[in-house]
């Protein structure tokens, strides 16, 4: 698991920026990020399935990532790594066009704080600085609010939509890649919540516009105690 002190980052920069393929990963392969990776189930699950790609799980909470990092070390996987950092600083760790694809899996919808919302235009602009042209962003969420907000944001900015469903497992679109279940996804499914997915290609040549959100119904179920989930699987 990679960690880099904030003081050194500001003073010296990240030494592997632009060098993930070659210095961190031995083989030159497309780079895929999972943002807010938690225990790393998606990062590990994708890395097992796609040995022709390199995966980086990113979160600020190192204790949670240790689960995924331990699996990677135990299995000797050469195409998965974990980075402890704030997502707000992601462009300090990756060079322009260094990243091919981004997964955002079950983030806090931040219904009251748009600036912290991982699919707000503030963050989309950051992602555009590191994504290759034609790079893809996937949002997988249980939150009706975040799904609808993101769908509107994509629409108002004219992004190309690849997949869009408000009930992944009833849609027939749940292929092995999209069916990897994180700890939180298993919690929501156990409570009968549908899983939403939207995949799109952002373009940031123009000034991005925020969508109207005042009429989007707010989620009303996050205060309910979460059940305990056992036998967590990454695939």
Q: Give the pLDDT band (50/70/90) at residue 227.
A: very low
Q: Is the pLDDT of residue 117 over 60?
A: yes
* Pairwise CA distance, residues 164 & 196, whole Å: 8
* Model confidence pLDDT, tens digit, residues 172-198: 999 989 999 888 898 888 888 899 999
Question: Who wins on pLDDT, 165 or 60?
Answer: 165
Q: Is the pLDDT of residue 223 over 60?
A: no
Q: Tell me the C-alpha to C-alpha distance, in Å, between residue 200 and each of 92, 93, 102, 208, 230.
A: 24, 23, 10, 15, 33
Q: Which of 106-115, 195-204, 226-235 has the lowest mean pLDDT?
A: 226-235
Report whether 7 contacts 86 (CB < 8 A).
no
Taking the CA atoms of residue 59, residue 62, residue 64 and residue 68 in that order, the dihedral angle to the nearest 10 degrees is 80
* Model confidence pLDDT, tens digit, residues 134-155: 999 999 999 999 999 999 999 9
Q: Of the residues 108, 166, 175, 214, which is catalytic?
A: 108
DSSP string, 202-218: ---SSPP-PPP-TTSPP
Question: Who wins on pLDDT, 211 or 228?
Answer: 211
Q: Give the pLDDT band (50/70/90) at residue 226.
A: very low
Q: Give the pLDDT band (50/70/90) at residue 205.
A: confident
| Phi, psi for 135 (deg, rounded to 5) | -65, 155
Q: Give the pLDDT band (50/70/90) at residue 221.
A: low
Report the pLDDT value the prediction gives residue 11, as an integer from 0 to 100. 84
Q: Is the pLDDT of residue 156 over 90?
A: yes
Is position 108 annotated as part of the catalytic site? yes
Report whether 139 contacts 176 (CB < 8 A).
no
Secondary structure (3-state) at 148: helix
Report whether 9 contacts 78 (CB < 8 A).
no
Report the pLDDT value the prediction gives residue 217, as an integer from 0 to 100. 94
Please state the separation of Cα 172 from the chain's center in Å: 22
Report whether 103 contacts 131 (CB < 8 A).
no
């Amino acid at each position: 698991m990679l960690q880099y002190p904030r003081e050194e980052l500001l003073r010296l920069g990240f030494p592997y920026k632009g060098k993930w393929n070659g210095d961190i990963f031995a083989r030159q392969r497309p780079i895929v990020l999972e943002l807010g990776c938690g225990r790393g189930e998606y990062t590990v699950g994708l890395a097992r399935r796609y040995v022709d790609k390199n995966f980086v799980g990113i979160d600020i909470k190192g204790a949670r990532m240790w689960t995924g990092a331990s699996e990677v070390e135990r299995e000797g996987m050469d195409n998965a790594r974990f980075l402890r950092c704030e997502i707000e600083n992601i462009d300090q760790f990756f060079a322009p066009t260094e990243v091919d694809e981004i997964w955002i899996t079950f983030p806090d919808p931040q219904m009251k704080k748009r600036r912290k919302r991982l699919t707000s235009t503030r963050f989309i602009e950051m992602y555009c600085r590191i994504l290759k042209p034609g790079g893809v962003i996937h949002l997988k969420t249980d939150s009706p609010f975040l799904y609808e907000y993101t769908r509107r944001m994509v629409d108002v900015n004219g992004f190309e939509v690849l997949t869009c469903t408000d009930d992944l497992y009833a849609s027939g679109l749940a292929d092995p890649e999209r069916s990897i279940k994180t700890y939180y996804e298993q919690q929501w499914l156990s409570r009968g919540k549908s899983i939403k997915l939207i995949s799109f290609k952002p373009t940031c040549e123009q000034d991005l516009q925020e969508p109207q959100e005042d009429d989007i119904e707010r989620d009303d179920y996050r205060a309910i105690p979460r059940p305990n989930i056992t036998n967590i699987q990454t695939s």
